[in-house]
Structure 1
Amino acid sequence: MRIVIATAMFMLAGLSAAYAQPCEPSDGRSAVMLSSREVAGNRDYNEVLEGPGWTFQLKRAAHGWDVRLLDENGLDLTQMTPPLHGPNPRQLYGWHFRNADNTGPNTGDVNAPQGLRLFGFDPALTGTGGFKPSSDEGAMDQPGRGALTIEDMGLADLEPGQKARMNYLKFNVCMTWPKTDKEKQKEAAEVAAMTELSKVTPELIEMMGDCGLDYQTYQITPYLTPVELGGDFDADDAHDQAVPIIRKADDKRGLFLCRAGTWGQVVGMTGRMGAHLTPAYFDNIDWWSLHTGPAGQGAGGTPPPALKGDAILIGKEGASSVLIYWTGETYSAYWQGD
């Protein structure tokens, strides 16, 4: 048996203004709309939400599906949705739509939610191990809000005395929540990247091209900030420059170092530098800075190099860092440690 549900049937008079808002991002809140999704048979439905990294899940149950919103550790953020006892809006079960003796549609004799399912969720549950409230009071006053609408469904086990089972579901779901720290950090990084991208000026592109940067193969890309470091790498009293680049063919990261606007060299793309630095390290770095003065003692126990000029310090936040320096003939690297 297949039942088509009209959206108008689900406009409940008691819906709060929070759930009546458009499914759109607003100041300080994220939103996602999953439209016309389908699941059938004994399968689960899983969809990862870009941004917070959560997974919207319909978990297969005996009589239909259970709504879940899983954080990256698999914790269900919707677990506080009331009522905590009895039919819950997160339970999408076939018998909710049948009368008590399973001889026809539910006309009100079975107390169960119908086509619009409202649920709450709280990103703050992450790391708590699954906190459960002692009562229903205030459980729906959660920062995350979800509204699932059933568009179409199929039911089985419709014989009198049986408990109807949902075996097909077509739905849409809107979820909104306060932006997480992860999303805020990503937005800030995107803004910073856009700011740095604006600094990849035609003049900078021309200067690096004059220095030998092959734009058929490489592109200046501000995955590091600032987008340009200036110093005197070879101690000849001429101004030298460095920019972050990617290889267009595979987005491999590296650096382009230009001495005196004339002699350029790509580093980090191929081959080992120094004793330990491999090209893979460049794909994980997230900061760099100009190093002036002598090199400090590194983590490997080998004596630090005698720097001929300024060096470039590259690294990943909370991890190791590496000095890149001019030897007189080429660039090499010295591991500084954490």
Structure 2
Amino acid sequence: MSENELMSRSALAPVLALALMLTGLAAPAGAQVCEDTSALRAGSVSGEISGAHAYSVPVNGDWRFELQPQPHGWVIAVIDADGQDRTALTPPLHLDTNPRRLSGWHLRNAANTAANQGDINAPQLERRFVIAGDDGNPSPGVFNIRDYGLADLEPGERARLVYLRFDACLYFPRTEEEQQAAADLASPVFLPEEVEQLRDCGLTSDYELEAWMLPRTLGGDFDGDGALDIAAPVRRTRDQSRAIAICRAGSWIDVLEAIDADGPDEFGAYLQQAEAWQITALDTGSEAERPGIMPGVHGDVISVERIEKQAWTVFWDGTQFRAFERYHHVEP
């Protein structure tokens, strides 16, 4: 895309429409959620910067998120592989109160004697900007100032930002292939090849595949042998009790389940209430150090959750899959 195409005023209409939408996108300061959507990939960035230094980290493949020094602080930029700033069309254009410009005097009153109480019409700790896509359609970005330091605080001066601690969330359009893959993950319908893989691995007719939590499969190296394993939610046909089947390297099947329909196996009983699961990092704190819980973890681990209420970790100890309760928030 040429510079003229990037800066074309014909692109302003979608940019302005997105600028209006940004008001509903950003979470309150301190509570930002940076998550993928069906159409957008989310990328989070956080860090610190001080003095006259620049900040630059890779995003979106070969693009870069940058904070570039300017006279009163820094300016936000997202630089593509051709060196173009994809945030340049963020409105209002050509004004020093543009939300991309992180200027110390934005946070001070007109006399530079105290904090800005509204007498200077400038963005404050949360900055919302737009990122031009290859097709001309913009996606949003949100930048939050978490802490800052100022200089040039004498009355009549324009204050300078000399320190920032920040986090940002950048959204980039998914390709059609990525959108299809995301839609596939959200579907509860098992593909014929997934059914065949689990049956060939040894899952008997005592169990039926049913996506009682999503995604319907997780793929990882759960036993640490370097081969791909697949895990899927299933039901026991005789009593419809929930269970998890794990096919290791296409050859061995393990089923995690309740001993009977109601338990008494504690993790098996917990599965009857579980809502979501994911591959996750293993805790390294006190829970991971409890005697007898994890004599040796091999491979990826799975977190099985009741959202914001309870979670169990499933891991391979070298011989079998085991589980321990990671947390349990008591409900009022």
Larger Rg: 1
Query: TM-score normalised by the shorter chain: which range applies?
Result: 0.3 to 0.5
- The normalised TM-score by structure 1 is 0.44
- The normalised TM-score by structure 2 is 0.45
